[in-house]
A and B are shown apart, each in its own frame.
Chain A
Amino acid sequence: MRLLVIEDEPRIAEILRTPLEQAGFAVDFVRLCAEGQAALALHVYDAAILDLGLPDGDGLNLLAELRRRSDPIPILVLTARDAVDDRVAGLDTGADDYLVKPFAVTELIARTKALLRRPGGALGLKLKAGNVQFDTVGRDVCVNHAYVHLPRRESAILEHLMRRLGRVVPKAVLEDKLYGLDEELESNAIPVHIHHLRRKLLDAGAEVEIHTVRGVGYLLIEKIS
């Protein structure tokens, strides 16, 4: 997976290099908007991390330019600006996610991977969480390399939770996903499916847990070993 980091602070770039490489990314670092534009024109990147305050211009302009050219590259914006309007402006301009400085490196990696786990992303075909693997093409779920059979609806729920690993997926979103499969949706359908899914993952020895956020939805967390 190839990653472009556009960041003008050399110390931050230096410190990010090792953990990002350990996480499996091949990383290119550039300092300026212009360099970023040139690099994106030259190579194909799976995702980009963009700092907004750059010496030769505003990162938001670069972002707007990319989106005008319909470049779908997932972009995570780093910013020291945190006023609400700036965040909204960032997302409106086409950022896929944002992190406010100072951030934790683990959070940066998790967010970047989440972007890549989207359908069509570099990690979107084979989803991975703990020792659970989900092949979205063959619809195969493996725990610790052992095949686990899941009914269609449960695997649809698991896929979505894995794509949004570590973040809350609202119940309404899961209901939307299942609607096409199951025309008549019972009000307690999702909790029932989650219940079954939990039991099966536990039985298979999966190192992930599905947590309930009462009133909002569910989230999948990798168990700390």
Chain B
Amino acid sequence: MRTWLRSLEGNLALRLGLLYLLAMAFAMGALLYQAYDTAGTLNDRDLNLRATDLARYVVLGPEQAPRLELPPRLAAAYETGSSDLYALRTQEGRVIAASPRSFGEVVSGWPNPSDEASYFRLKAFGPEAQDYYGVSVSVPSVTGPLSVFVARLAEGSLLAHSLLREFMVDAAWLIPLFMVITLATGKYAISGSLKPVRQISELAAAIGPGNTAVRLPQHDLPGELVPLVAAVNRALDRLSQGFAVQREFTANAAHELRTPLTIVTAALDTMPGDGELTKLRSDVARMNRIVEQLLRVARLDAVGLDVSDKVDLNTVTEGVVAAVAPLALAQERAIAFLPANPPVVVRGNAGAIEDAIRNLVENAIAHTPRHSEVCVQVERGGSVRVADEGPGIAPEDRQRVFQRFWRGKGASTRGAGLGLAIVKEIADAHHATLSVDDSPSGQGTIFTIRFLLAVHRPRDAALAKAVSR
């Protein structure tokens, strides 16, 4: 809830809602005032009209005495209820007509009104002790000016109420509706314009040292956010430039080391002698290996691998086993290859997959004891299993073996600790899963790398390309 309120949507909804409430309160106030005012004006006009009306029905009687002769319909209207009162009086103070009679008695004591209408309130009048509101005015008639008093039950608010009720029924229900529509529109507009923001957030979350080439798209963004995204992109530019320089340096350094290393290797190889020389040779061999792996890592970091090819796992794995076999046999380790039947075609980069499998196999050879066998198996699901008969890896170390420069306790000093890190990077680039398990026999470790199957049957061209490797 707190975070929702802090969001643009929540903020807008809250403010709009408050604004609506205020506006509605103000509008209702204004409306009430207006309604009462209008009702009052109408009431006054009506009372004045009645006063004039009543005066018109005053006629001269036989003895020149003025007399009120209401048409029957009007007379009935005045008599039926006690809501309307009237009294007519001559200038001399003689009451000509009154309804009810008691009203005539009340007004008889009042002064003569002028031409200008004046209004009065009559409190607790009549049998029901009701309040009345009326007008007193002097109106010309056949007998000369007459004082006319007309009053009506002081529930003038009745009119205002009916006006308000009219308004509620006709229009007011639209207000909450508009409020809901406005809020919904606001929310929709904001979440719509924030959609690209969510997308670039996902994109930004994927940026890491491995893929510094990603830039956040600036189109479709709300204009207010464009400067921010542009600044982030410029920062990414600078970072990736720094990364590129770093990588290039590693790659160049490793590359430049090769020629002198070749010279040293060759010189040591051809020098006659044993003892120290043999140790030196193995030292240089180790150095060669480290440089080789540094170069591989730098290359993997530098170029985004094209992993869209279709690769026959049997062919690649058999090639690796055949290439590594002489080395394994020279170290008195056997190696076996169990192909999948039928062949398995996975999606990836043949060279990189070959590198990964070779590193796994070389790692297994380094850890399996003499006269034991490293078994390399391709499985139908698209995975390659490399099993050794070595001492195994403690469960707590199983994820760490893939870190760069990690070496197990008591490991031989031969490796640089880069081989399995290379495997991990290649696996990641292929969205392949990598796992380490104990051998079911209880002796040794099994590394499994599972690639994504190429779903469609391999086109001949793609297969031929993979096989030609």
Given the known interface contacts A213-B335, A214-B337, the answer about A80 and B259 at a Cβ–Cβ threshold of 8 Å is yes
Contact A213 B321 (CB under 8 A): yes
Contact B258 A101 (CB under 8 A): yes
When distances are taken between beta carbons in the complex, the residues of chain B under 8 Å from A106 are 269
B100 at the interface (CB under 8 A from A): no
- Bound-state Cα–Cα, A84 to B265, Å: 24
Contact A19 B269 (CB under 8 A): yes
Looking at A124-132, A166-174, A179-187, the stretch in contact with chain B turns out to be A166-174
Interface size in chain B (residues, C-beta < 8 A): 39
B194 at the interface (CB under 8 A from A): no
> What is the 8 Å Cβ interface bit string for chain A, positions 95-111, against chain B (1 contact, 0 not)?
00000011111100000
CB-nearest residue of chain B relative to A18?
B270
- Bound-state Cα–Cα, A88 to B255, Å: 19
Contact A211 B263 (CB under 8 A): no
CB-nearest residue of chain A relative to B295?
A82
Q: Is the interface of B mostly helix, strand, loop or mixed?
A: helix
Given the known interface contacts A106-B269, A214-B336, the answer about A101 and B262 at a Cβ–Cβ threshold of 8 Å is yes
A137 at the interface (CB under 8 A from B): no
> What is the 8 Å Cβ interface bit string for chain B, positions 342-376, against chain A (1 contact, 0 not)?
00000001111010000000000000000001001
CB distance from B207 to the nearest CB of A (A): 26
> What is the 8 Å Cβ interface bit string for chain B, positions 283-325, against chain A (1 contact, 0 not)?
0010010010001000100000000000000000010011101
When distances are taken between beta carbons in the complex, the residues of chain A under 8 Å from B339 are 215
Contact B262 A102 (CB under 8 A): yes
A135 at the interface (CB under 8 A from B): no
> What is the 8 Å Cβ interface bit string for chain A, positions 8-44, against chain B (1 contact, 0 not)?
0101100110110000000000000000000000000
Contact of A105 among B259, B270, B349 (CB under 8 A): B270
Name which of A102, A105, A168 has the most chain B CB atoms within 10 A of its CB.
Answer: A102
A157 at the interface (CB under 8 A from B): no
Given the known interface contacts A168-B322, A213-B321, A215-B338, the answer about A12 and B259 at a Cβ–Cβ threshold of 8 Å is yes
Looking at A63-71, A142-150, A216-224, the stretch in contact with chain B turns out to be A216-224
- Bound-state Cα–Cα, A16 to B269, Å: 10
Number of A-B contacts (CB under 8 A): 97
When distances are taken between beta carbons in the complex, the residues of chain A under 8 Å from B13 are none
- Bound-state Cα–Cα, A18 to B295, Å: 30
B21 at the interface (CB under 8 A from A): no
Contact A167 B295 (CB under 8 A): no
Contact A9 B335 (CB under 8 A): no
- Bound-state Cα–Cα, A106 to B269, Å: 8
- Bound-state Cα–Cα, A55 to B400, Å: 45
When distances are taken between beta carbons in the complex, the residues of chain A under 8 Å from B258 are 80, 101-102
CB-nearest residue of chain A relative to B267?
A15
Contact of B266 among A15, A83, A168, A217 (CB under 8 A): A15
When distances are taken between beta carbons in the complex, the residues of chain B under 8 Å from A105 are 265-266, 269-270
B469 at the interface (CB under 8 A from A): yes
B329 at the interface (CB under 8 A from A): yes
- Bound-state Cα–Cα, A165 to B351, Å: 26
When distances are taken between beta carbons in the complex, the residues of chain B under 8 Å from A213 are 321-322, 325, 334-337
When distances are taken between beta carbons in the complex, the residues of chain A under 8 Å from B265 are 102-105
Given the known interface contacts A82-B295, A214-B336, A215-B337, the answer about A104 and B269 at a Cβ–Cβ threshold of 8 Å is yes
11 further A-B contacts with Cβ under 8 Å, apart from A16-B266, A102-B291, A215-B321, are A11-B263, A12-B263, A19-B269, A80-B259, A104-B265, A105-B270, A168-B323, A170-B322, A215-B336, A215-B338, A219-B326
